[in-house]
Amino acid sequence: MPIRTVVPSEDLEAVLKIWQTAGPGIQISPSDHPAEIDKKLLRDPDLFLIYEEEGEVCGAVLGGFDGRRGLMYHLAVPEKYRRRGIGKALMLELEARLRKKGCFKYYLLVTPDNQEALAFYETMGCAQMDLLVLGKEL
């Protein structure tokens, strides 16, 4: 299977490039700085996945699990690799790894203007929730 866990020293540059060029749906923030991702990986290194073909990173996803709920961050596939099942494969593998940790439910965030992602996630069994997302920068 061309999905594997990220090796930050080898893969992070390619993943960041995918996230930065994925379109308006991926919002890069200070939490996506390599030093911050390193902190995240201390908790769930097995939930940061890439899809790779012939040495090229063709998609990536970052997951998290806090012991109660999971979260999927930044599922992204470059335009030239879309509609080949890469996003689906990454999502299914992340779900399998979350289940293995004892996770029963996970969340993901989608910007309202990202209709392509909304349609994709709905085909994958995700449903919109009637919630407002609040945040606070520290």
CB 84 within 8 A of CB 78: no
Do strands 70-76 and 3-5 pair parallel, antiparallel, or not at all (unpaired)?
unpaired
For tokens 């999971």, name the residue.
70
Query: Which pLDDT value is given to residue 103?
Result: 97
Fold that domain 3-123 belongs to in CATH: Aminopeptidase (3.40.630)
Q: How far apart are CA 135 and CA 84, in angstroms?
A: 34
Q: Three-state SS across 12-41?
A: HHHHHHHHHHCCCCCCCCHHHCHHHHHHHH
CB 106 within 8 A of CB 69: yes
CB 14 within 8 A of CB 57: yes
pLDDT, tens digit (0-9, with 9 covering 90-100), for 6-27? 998 899 999 999 999 987 778 8
Q: How far apart are CA 106 and CA 126, in angstroms?
A: 10
Query: Which pLDDT value is given to residue 1?
Result: 65
- Average of per-residue pLDDT across 85-93: 96
Going from N- to C-terminal start, the domains of the chain cover 3-123
Query: Which pLDDT value is given to residue 89?
Result: 97
For tokens 């201390």, name the residue.
42
CB 76 within 8 A of CB 22: yes
Is the pLDDT confidence value at 84 over 70? yes
